[in-house]
Structures are given as C-alpha cells and as structure tokens.
Amino acid sequence: MDNLLQFEKVSKSYGSRKALNDVTFSIAPGKIVGLLGTNGSGKSTLMKITAGLLPVYSGNVKVNGHPLELNTKSIVSFMPDRPMTESWMRVRDAIDFYSDFYPDFDLDKSLQMLDFMNLKREERISSLSKGMNERLQLTLALSRNAKLYLLDEPIGGVDPVARAKILDAIVEFYSEESSLIISTHLVKDIERIFDEVIFIKDGELVLQAEVEELRLKHGKGVDEMFREVYAE
Amino acid sequence: MSIEFDNNLPIYLQIMNYIKREIVTGKLKAGDKIPSVRELAAELQINPNTVQRTFQELEREEVVETRRGLGRYVTSEEAKIMLIKKEMAGDLLDHFINGMQELGFSNRDIASIVAEAVDANNE
C-alpha cells in the first residue's frame, strides 16, 4: 500500500538553530501515530511542514504520493497547538467558518461531534474553558473528510476528564482509511491508542516502532521507552 | 467492561485474557454476541487495530466465531470453553508452582501445603 506521508532527509533551520535534521520516515494509511518528544524537539515544525505551512526546508516530503504543494493541503487537516478561531466567534461561527473554508467539511459529522463533546452552538468561544476549547478544536479538525489528520498537542494542559473525552472522540470519530498523527509529551495517558510511535529528539528521529512490538519484544510500553530515550 | 491495563505488556494479549475470563466465569455465555471492533475500542479507549488483532487471535484459537454479516459470537462449543478454563487454571498453577519453587519448597511440600490450605479453606 502507498504511504500517506513520506519524509526524506528533511531538515529545517530557524536562523542558526536546527529544528529538524535529516529526518526520514513514512506513514501508511489507517494508522494512529504518536509523534513524541520533549518541548522544543521539533514536533510542531514537523507538523507545520506536513500541513504546508512552512514552505522553506530541505529534503523531500510527499503526501499521498504527491510532492507537498497547495493541493496536498486539501487532504491534510491540521489542528494547531494554538486555536485558529477568533475570540468574537461563537461555536456556530467557528463551524460555519470551517464549513465555508473547507469543501470537505462534513457538517453532519461536526454536529454529532459537538453533541458528543457537550458543546453548545450558541456558546462564545472566549468563555470556553481550556478543555472545552480543545474539544472544539478537535471537532473542527476531525470533521473534515481528510486523509491525514495532524493533531498538535490535543491533550496539552487539560484535566484528566477532558483528556479521556478527547481520546474517546478520537477513537470514535476517526475514519479507518485515514491516518492520524498526534504529537504529545504526555505519553502515559494516550499510548494505548497508538499503532506506531515516532520519537524525535533535538530535531532528529531516534525511533519509529510499532507499539505492540515494543511491548512484545522488549516488555516495555511507550512511556517507559520515552523515559529511557529522553533521560538527562 | 473495564480493564486495568499494564502498558508494558501487549494490549491485545491483555484483552484476549480478559475476554476469555469473561467467558469462563459465565459473564459472556456460549453463543453470545461480542461487541464490534469500534465499540470495544471506544469503550476501552484503545487503538481499533489492536482490538482487530485481539479478535483475529481469538478466532484463530476458535474462542469466537464470525458469522458473515452478523458479527462475532462466543463459540457455542461448551467443550472449547472447558478447554479455556483448563488452560487458565494451568497458567495459574504454573505461576504458583514456580513461585513456591523459588521460595525453596520441594514438590512434595508444595502438594501438602496446597492440600492443607484447601482443607483450611473448607472449614
């Protein structure tokens, strides 16, 4: 089967600081992949490149077999770590905004998800708690019928209840032909929903593995591997 | 359904054992329908492919069977369920005997300790 995402020797610098260094990996369709690393390891840079938001880098990136360009954006749905909604909006405005902007936005799915998330259409976004806001952002990202979903820290800074709800929603609403890349540094709570994990450290890829194989072969879960790789 | 997972052991094996236990203890009965991949994945908050693998392994062991277009069911063969029960008992026994041997008990000691414990338990 063709890879949904392929990185080949990708590097990216901000001035003299290398954010990504010679990163190569690929992701097959139908996978939930954990992109793991400590703060500043290059996770967000990798996601932004994939989303087509950082045009200048070296190396090759292909989405669904095509080189990164404008038309790959239509099959990549990106949930950034900072909300893309405006503070004047109500929940329904955000839904309308996405629905206008993305031809693949599935309004029915978004309404189902709002319901699942206990979000009300009339609520002001500025009055949502952090956890509720994360739920909204996830609803917006997953309501597109994309092939590749990029979720940047979807459970960062929310309480365990909201976290569980967000994980529920991911398992419930993601479609099996698509792939999902989820970046996080909170490994323990989320590792059971991953097929594969990619560890990056100081901009370099240090491990890509199937998680059940890690457990079978090494008797170690992702959290334990993570602690070993990132021990200081 | 709730399982306390150990993240350092393969999740599909833990779910397999859980389902076998449900069958042996009669919570899932011969011929009962079992949840779909999606339902179980959402309920346990785990990866759907992991659940898929669990079901494939259970099918391979003939613990569950797929009826085309209808879903998956616990085997209707009581003999198979007895076999699972014996296997699970065997695992418990192996674990116990190894533990006792590590503590330095001879096989004869172990047998008499078990007999005494069973008697004490009956009183």
Angstroms from A215 CA to nearest CA on chain B: 5
Which residues does chain A have within 8 Å of residue B4's beta carbon, measured at their own beta carbons? Answer: none
Closest residue by Cα to residue B63 from B14, B16, B15, B26: B16
**What ipTM did this prediction achieve?**
0.78
B110-120: per-residue pLDDT in tens? 999 999 999 98
Q: What order of strands is seen across the sheet that includes strand A5-14? A: A17-27, A5-14, A58-63, A66-67
The whole-number pLDDT of residue A55 equals 81
pLDDT of residue A177: 86
Give B115→chain A minimum CA distance, Å: 35
Inspect the interface and report whether the beta carbons of B47 and A168 lie closer than 8 Å.
no
* B47 part of contact set with chain A, CB < 8 Å: yes
The alpha carbon dihedral of A194, A196, A201, A203 has a sign of negative
Taking an 8 Å cut-off on Cβ atoms, the answer to whether B42 and A221 are in contact is no
CB distance B8–A220 less than 8 Å? Answer: yes
**A71-112 tens-digit pLDDT:** 777 899 999 878 878 889 999 999 999 999 999 999 999 999
Whether B42 and chain A come into contact, CB under 8 Å, resolves to yes
Provide block-wise average pLDDT over 10 residues at a time, chain B (123 residues).
84 94 91 91 90 95 91 91 92 94 93 92 77
Which residue, among B12, B14, B18, B47, would best test binding to A if mutated, counting the most A CBs under 10 Å from its CB?
A: B47
Q: Is B10 on the interface with A (CB under 8 A)?
A: yes
Buried residues in A174-195 as b, exposed as e (16+ CB within 10 A): beeebbbbbbbebbebbbbbbb
| Nearest by CB: A221 against B8, B38, B49 | B8
Q: Can you tell me which residue has the tokens 């063709």? A: A2
- Taking the Cβ of residue B56 and every Cβ of chain A, the question of whether any pair is shorter than 8 Å is answered with no
Segments of chain A scoring below 70 in pLDDT: 1, 70
Provide the shortest C-alpha distance from residue B47 to chain A (in Å).
Answer: 4
- Asked if A192's CB is within 8 angstroms of B5's CB, the reply is yes
How close, in Å, is residue A135 to chain B by CA atoms?
16
State the smallest CA–CA distance between residue A190 and chain B in angstroms. 9
Letter for the amino acid at B16? M
pLDDT at A35: 96
Q: What is the pLDDT of residue B112?
A: 93
Contact check, Cβ <8 Å, A215/B11: yes
Contacts with A31 from chain B: Cβ below 8 Å: 49
Contacts of B9 in chain A (CB under 8 A): 215, 219, 221
pLDDT given at position B69: 86
Interhelix angle B48-60/B37-44, rounded to 10 degrees, is 120
Per-residue pLDDT at B1? 59
Buried-exposed string B20-58: b where 16+ CB fall within 10 A, e elsewhere: bebbbeeebeeeeebbebeebbbebbbbbbbbbbbbeeb
